[in-house]
Structure 1
């Protein structure tokens, strides 16, 4: 029985072309900023997303945390949407590494209201001052939902009025772009820094990029080194990232279509799915006992994650076969019976 892995879009394997590029990669010491393949990846990403500079790092947690470090000082607050990845799934890093506190704003389907953001800004001797506003697009915990460009611009306008920088956790920025029918640079526009993951959906085995202005590059690289992200012959990994940027975004259309088919199929089987939230490559379902449900599906050869006591997540990705949704729904129906 073929195992169908819906746990995450990070479970993909490098494509044959990626493996060939990795084997043939020209390399140098990236600690000295001398790896030509890393440089090529960084320049390609910066050009693609409309930034002056990009810096390659091992993970999206590192790119997000470096962004927080370059924009803030200890004791400040970061305005984030409720259930933001930078808080929920980067285990206390903003407090432990940067000495920051989160200030949450409500975000229906991952989309904050600009007035809520404005109200959350503090500049008083009686409160921790606001140092940064951070958005997430797509918004993972909200269901892989997309923040419309006009909503981003409204929050950016609030930030400019307050003289605050704005960071985008764009781990799945190309999913957002595909869903909106725009280019990645359109989603990235107006932010001071943007984090982009190459191993979520795009298929690279390792790596994320932090994009920003030229004047921040030196500090970004210093914090990368401080957090253990200084790499040597990293071009072997960056070579796969180049292929991911070249080929990955167009493959996301299929992922989104599969997620929609899966969400609608789960509803027909009687599961509770908010189809309004199925906007990209994720499907969240409410069940009575999420760990038990995930264990039952594992025995049926369908891997998913329990993301709470009564909530499970399915994620579609490039390594799933075309028949994966049909087969998974059949197995789920049998498991439920």
Structure 2
């Protein structure tokens, strides 16, 4: 068989998985860090690598303490529990992860409800927060006690907050005695895209959860960072939620490696996402591509009936993306999507016929 033909067949057989930045595998350097990690029993707080990861992130954000969690959902749920009492209410956008994608944990774990705000691409404003606060002396309604923001926004296509907007929301929270939590699952994408300082976020939020697998490429793990008065009960809440772990230094080592080596390279993911968005906008079968700020592209086919054929043509090329229904689709770039895959994907988009 011709050598060129063999190369083409090999390229087509390599799967391109753009459903999420959670599908990545550890790099060689990360695997070596995992293997070499010094570990102990983290339930006793005796795992030196976990302790080092927590100290690293607390210092990075200029906050008092940090605690390692197995998942981002658990970290968010713990934060909500620390901020609230049963029968109270938190304010979040209608597309917020804590409301849509954490299994109803807000009500199950903390006994609180959500006041949903109609923001823009998952982003809300101080005015929207202000008008969503229930009067504290009106005992018929839940007591508002917490505001949850998400940065970047998942359903909002990786949209990022401006710090000025967050500062305005912080002022509202201070005026009304509300806590402010940040679901920062893809916070490092926002920090890189907008050239921000993690300490600026530490100054504005009471608690912040950061994910080490989304974008940064670790197999698992999120860290909740916060101020001492709230975090003093975090380990107890983690235990109640079933999050006590033993030799977690292996995964913490992956997190330290990711923070040292995978943050700046997020710019590559953002550039490739922008390339894909520009390619999609050229296609006749596309109705709309939402603005792209980071590594998520949300787009709409011209006709919902195109869905089946569009997805089938991608599958023939061994390419996977997320179908969100009704002609709405999502692509997420990540470190397991190298330049050769990127160029092949762009050619496929140009050759799709609907």
Q: What is the match of residue 82 of structure 1?
A: 94
Q: SS state of the match for residue 143, structure 1?
A: coil
Residue 316 of structure 2 corresponds to residue 302 of structure 1: no
Q: What is the match of residue 34 of structure 1?
A: 46
Residue among 145, 155, 160 paired with 2:169: 155
Residue 114 of structure 2 corresponds to residue 114 of structure 1: no
Cα distance between partner residues in 2 of 1:283 and 1:155: 27
Q: 1:255 to 1:290 in 2, by over 3 A?
A: farther
**Residues 273, 283 of structure 1: 8 Å contact kept:** no
Q: What is the match of residue 234 of structure 2?
A: 220
Cα distance between partner residues in 2 of 1:289 and 1:69: 44
1:178 shift after superposition: 1.0
Q: 1:32 to 1:290 in 2, by over 3 A?
A: farther
Correspondences of 1:131-280 after superposition (within 5 Å): 131-270=145-284, 271-275=286-290, 277-280=291-294
Cα distance between partner residues in 2 of 1:230 and 1:289: 47
Cα distance between partner residues in 2 of 1:46 and 1:11: 27
State how many pairs are aligned: 336
Cα distance between partner residues in 1 of 2:171 and 2:306: 40
Q: SS state of the match for residue 209, structure 2?
A: strand
Q: SS state of the match for residue 92, structure 2?
A: strand
Which segment drifts farther, 101-110 or 171-180?
101-110
Unaligned runs of 5+ in 2: 1-11
1:274 shift after superposition: 3.2
Q: 1:137 to 1:301 in 2, by over 3 A?
A: same
1:272 shift after superposition: 2.8
Deviation per CA, 1:155-208: give whole Å up to 9, x if none: 111000000110000111111111111222223431000000000001111100
Cα distance between partner residues in 2 of 1:39 and 1:15: 23
Cα distance between partner residues in 1 of 2:84 and 2:166: 21
Cα distance between partner residues in 1 of 2:172 and 2:350: 48
Cα distance between partner residues in 1 of 2:89 and 2:328: 30
Q: SS state of the match for residue 277, structure 2?
A: helix
Q: SS state of the match for residue 272, structure 1?
A: strand
Q: SS state of the match for residue 110, structure 2?
A: coil
Q: 1:295 to 1:152 in 2, by over 3 A?
A: farther
Which segment drifts farther, 222-231 or 122-131?
122-131
Cα distance between partner residues in 1 of 2:345 and 2:39: 42
Q: What is the match of residue 336 of structure 2?
A: 319
1:329 shift after superposition: 2.4
Cα distance between partner residues in 2 of 1:308 and 1:210: 33
Cα distance between partner residues in 1 of 2:103 and 2:305: 25
1:290 shift after superposition: 7.8
Q: 1:285 to 1:40 in 2, by over 3 A?
A: same
Using the size of structure 2 for normalisation, the TM-score is 0.91
Q: SS state of the match for residue 250, structure 1?
A: coil
**Residues 280, 289 of structure 2: 8 Å contact kept:** no
Greater C-alpha Rg = 2
Residue 55 of structure 2 corresponds to residue 43 of structure 1: yes
Using the size of structure 1 for normalisation, the TM-score is 0.96
Q: SS state of the match for residue 265, structure 1?
A: helix
**Residues 145, 177 of structure 2: 8 Å contact kept:** no
**Residues 279, 349 of structure 2: 8 Å contact kept:** no
